[in-house]
Amino acid sequence: MDLNYTPEELAFADEVRQWVRANLPPETRDRVLQHQHLSKEEQVEWQRRLHARGWGGPRWPKEYGGPGWTSVQQHLFDEVLSEEGAPQALPFGLSMIGPVLMAYGSQKQKDYYLPRILRMDDWWCQGFSEPGSGSDLASLRMKAELDGDEWVLNGQKTWTTLGQYANMIFLLARTDPAAKKQQGISMLLADMSTPGITLRPIITVDGAHEVNEVFFDNVRVPKENIVGQPGMGWSYAKFLLSHERTNIARIGRSKAELTRLKKIATEEKVEGVPLMETPGFREKVAAVEIELMALELTNLRMIAAEQSGQAPGAEANMLKIKGSEIQQTLTELMMEAVGPYALPYNPEAREHGWKKGEPIGPEYAAPLAPDYFNYRKVTIYGGSNEIQRNILAKAVLGL
Ligand SMILES: Cc1cc2nc3c(=O)[nH]c(=O)nc-3n(C[C@H](O)[C@H](O)[C@H](O)COP(=O)(O)OP(=O)(O)OC[C@H]3O[C@@H](n4cnc5c(N)ncnc54)[C@H](O)[C@@H]3O)c2cc1C
């Protein structure tokens, strides 16, 4: 196994870099690098530019409008985009419902929804979790009953990320109450403007509106909005989650954050000496850098195995655990680097159009605490790390 990039792969990375530099709006880049929330319009605009270049669905096969890249090209693409401060692609359409529709959707669903995902004509959200049904997702209680040509949905979803922007939701509901837990669950698609759907914001510990509760009260959706076969939703959900977990390690982003951490720690001084040159802090940065390099190599090993035809196994769970822990460590070290300046934190520092006023301490300190609080989420979502460890214990150690 050769883990070095070929000259062609390096040339590809360079082509992506040049294109991003020429096409990423500078104000969007600045907002990404300053860790501010992007507006819906900015996110959509960036996706449309990528799509116009043919790069809207980097992991999609050619058949559905993707570039048909190798896994190495996909990895390099992610890495360059993160380095250059491009917005993270939203997973809900591209990495979640898109691949599910490709594998299990009807021809009509594929023809209609897949091009709309690439152009981002639809903003999708994920309606899986319910109060009391997160890790134990199969205990979900939302009901869908067939009434003539329509499904009637009743129940509640929660933690629905960016549901406030979404016009479409894919969800799991119980269509056969008599069947055992995992059976009797179906996957359905619903237009968020359907009467009976109510969305309520959840404001998280960082002061942001990122997640929501969504209530369904006699919501009628067309019969054809079921994905695949009734009662097969659990298998489709597992397929979807394996895609979600592989992309969740965010290696490219963590590499960019590590560079940012070093920059901050070089500007911050302890008795005139840059923090980065003090042995204690240097050691902590080195430790996380080593972890990140190891994670990247694990990812490359997984890519190499994939290219030689082996299906990804427990590596996806490992990537999720390590990737999320590294992301959290980086936010912790940045807080530590600015010391007391991280305390007077202003959640608005992450909002679009924030009027800076007089910053308390260096400008880069303002979003660090909201980021730190926000990143508590990464070890919870996409299947909590405790659950990932349970899977590894069973699948790898046979416990
Ligand atoms: C910011 C954020 C965004 C999210 N976005 C979405 C979204 O868009 N759509 C969506 O459907 N869901 C979303 N989720 C929900 C997410 O998938 C769940 O929060 C997650 O699966 C955990 O479920 P829970 O919150 O119900 O916690 P619980 O399942 O109640 O778990 C509580 C704690 O107990 C631990 N635990 C539970 N069971 C076990 C076990 N068997 N062994 C060991 N430990 C265990 C967990 O690890 C956790 O620490 C989001 C969550 C967050 C925080």
Give residue-wise pLDDT tens across range 169-216.
999 999 998 888 889 999 999 999 999 999 999 999 888 899 999 999
Section 230-259 average pLDDT = 86
Percent of the chain whose predicted confidence (pLDDT) is above 90: 73
For ligand 1, is residue 386 a contact (CB within 6 Å)? yes
pLDDT of residue 266: 97
* DSSP annotation of 383: S
Choose the weakest-confidence range: 134-138, 309-313, 376-380: 309-313
* 140 CB-contact burial (10 Å; exposed 0-12 / middle 13-18 / buried 19+): buried
β-bridge mates for residue 169, sequence order? 125, 190
Instruction: Name the phi and psi angles at 124, rounded to 5.
Output: -95, 150
Q: Which two tokens stand for residue 372?
A: 């730190």
pLDDT at position 212 is: 98
Closest to 234 in 3D by CA, of 169, 191, 145, 174: 174
Rounded CA separation 105/232 (Å):
12
Which residues fall within 8 angstroms of residue 56, CB to CB, at 6 or more apart?
47, 48, 50, 65, 66, 94, 118, 119, 120
- Contact criterion met (CB below 8 Å) for 167 and 204: no
Ligand 1 center to 379 CA (angstroms):
9
* Dihedral pair phi/psi, residue 108, rounded to 5°: -65, -40
Distance of CA 295 to the CA centre of its chain: 18
Does 369 score more than 60 pLDDT? yes
* Amino acid letter, 145: E
Query: Is the CB of residue 335 less than 8 Å from the CB of residue 369?
Result: yes
Average pLDDT, the chain: 92
Confidence tier at 100 by pLDDT (50, 70, 90): very high
**How many residues are present in the chain?**
399
Q: Is 331 in the pocket of ligand 1 (CB under 6 A)?
A: no
* Angle 360-281-258 from CA coordinates, rounded to 5°: 75
Mean pLDDT over 214-236 rounds to 97
Nearest atom (ligand 1) to Cα of 382:
17
Q: Is 348's pLDDT higher than 80?
A: no
Mean pLDDT of 119-140: 96
Residue nearest atom 51 in ligand 1 by C-alpha distance: 381
- Structure-model confidence comparison of residues 302 and 92, the more confident one: 92
Return the percent helix, strand and coil in the chain, to nearest 5: 55, 15, 30
d(CA 144, CA 73): 41
Tell me what the mean pLDDT of segment 103-114 comes to: 98
Comparing 357 with 172, the larger pLDDT belongs to: 172
C-alpha distances out from residue 363 to 281, 321, 355, Å: 21, 31, 12
Compute the distance from residue 343 Cα to the ligand 1 centre, in Å. 28
Higher pLDDT, 248 or 54: 54
Tell whether the model's pLDDT for residue 1 goes beyond 60.
no
Candidate list 79, 84, 210, 244, residue with the active-site label:
244
Residue type, 352: H
Tokens of 264: 């901050």
Please indicate whether residue 63, judged by its CB atom, sits closer than 6 Å to ligand 1.
no
pLDDT, tens digit (0-9, with 9 covering 90-100), for 280-291: 999 999 999 999
pLDDT at 204: 92
Cα–Cα–Cα angle for 146, 180, 152, nearest 5°?
A: 15
Does residue 373 carry a pLDDT above 70?
A: yes
DSSP per residue, 262-327: HHHHHHSEETTEEGGGSHHHHHHHHHHHHHHHHHHHHHHHHHHHHHTTPPP-THHHHHHHHHHHHH
Work out the average pLDDT over 215-233: 97
Evaluate: CB of 211 within 6 angstroms of ligand 1: yes
Type of residue found at 326: I
So what's the pLDDT on residue 345? Answer: 66
CA–CA distance, 137 with 174 (Å, rounded to integer)? 12
Q: To test ligand 1's pocket by mutation, which of 140, 172, 384, 389 has the most ligand atoms within 8 angstroms of CB?
A: 384
pLDDT band at 312 (very low <50, low <70, confident <90, very high): low
- Cα distances from 146 to residues 223, 305, 338, in angstroms, run 7, 44, 57
Tokens, residue 156: 């509640």
Any ligand 1 atom below 6 A from CB of 384: yes
The neighbouring-strand residues paired with 209 are: 203
Of 67-81, 93-107, 274-288, 361-375, the one with minimum mean pLDDT is 361-375
Per-residue pLDDT tens over the stretch 64-82:
999 999 888 998 999 999 9
Residue 5 pLDDT exceeds 90: no
Which among 35, 60, 37, 63 has a CA at the least distance from the CA of 50? Answer: 60
* Residue 41 appears among annotated catalytic residues: no
Percent of the chain with pLDDT over 70: 94
Question: What are the tokens at 83?
Answer: 């380095």
Q: How confident is the model at residue 244 (pLDDT cuts 50, 70, 90)?
A: low
Q: Please tell me the least confidently modeled range out of 52-61, 296-305, 380-389.
A: 296-305
Q: Indicate the pTM of the whole model.
A: 0.93
Q: Of residues 31 and 214, which shows the higher confidence score?
A: 214
What is the pLDDT, as a whole number, of residue 382? Answer: 85
For residue 193, report the distance from its CA to the centre of ligand 1, in Å.
Answer: 27
